[in-house]
Amino acid sequence: MAEPSATGRFGEFGGRFVPETLVPACQELEVAFAEAWADPVFRAELDHVLRTYAGRPSMLTECKNLGEQLGIRLVLKREDLNHTGSHKINNVLGQALLAKRMGKKRLVAETGAGQHGVASATAAALFGMECKVYMGAVDVERQALNVFRMKLLGSEVEAVHSGSRTLKDAVNEAMRDWVATVETSHYCLGSVMGPHPYPWMVREFHRVLGDEAREQCIELLGDVPDVAVACVGGGSNAIGLFSGFVDHRTRLVGVEPAGGAAVARAQPGVVHGMRSYLMQDEYGQVQEAHSISAGLDYPGVG
């Protein structure tokens, strides 16, 4: 598994493209995460809360009927059975524990489908922190149940009406909030995007998903799978699964939305503090992504 360079890059990608006001905050976060990740006490506390609160390990389910029709053995890693209903809780619990360790009192988060927002609101309630979630106005309408859940957990939800009114714009507003409140707030970014150390940090918090899946596949199937498939929006789900198999013979397949195919159709560019593949026009302006799925309409990829 590749590690970031001293400047936070993975090859030509990644990095830290932020205003001067955020450089100290990113540096502070990088040092804090490196120290925490090397601390057995922090790792043990995170493992404990993942087991006793999030419900890890999540089960592996074999789809025998569909597998027989296709002539394969097909298994699903059931992250939907985690507390709050998705893989997002893995990263959020890690970041919330880190924020608490850093003395932060407030979480700021963005959300698309609402799962990261619900997970952030849940972690804030668990650890006695304030939480504000930014969500595109389009997503607020189509994910009303998750908005209700976030508010029920005590978090403030702000609908973002600028731009395409979806995930990209929610990230913009969350980062603006972080700039203004950096002394007391931690930006709990929900995917492997943003400035260093976020892609590295989020990958490490999500790799429990892939590590479990690899061991479960070996136990159930007798070997690692031939192919591992994951949807790709910002990339948190995919990097979690792929991290367990990248050093093995398993072929890794990411499935993007046709209206947001950053890897398949885009060119390298800079967005949200990182260099990555980005949907952009001939002048380098970010294009709008589209997907019927609220969590996949992101114009870049982690």
Residues acting as catalytic residues: 63, 87
> In this structure, what token pair is assigned to residue 130?
């304030």
Q: What angle do CA 116, 287, 26 make, to 5 degrees?
A: 50
Would you state the structure tokens that stand for residue 229, as one six-digit string?
A: 């498939």
Q: Phi-psi bin for 284: left (phi > 0), alpha (psi -120 to 50), beta?
A: left
Measured CA to CA, the distance from residue 284 to residue 276 in angstroms comes to 13
Instruction: Say how far apart CA 95 and CA 293 lie, in whole Å.
Output: 25
Residue 269: CB partners within 8 Å, gap ≥ 6?
275, 276, 277, 278, 280, 284, 286, 300
d(CA 109, CA 92): 10
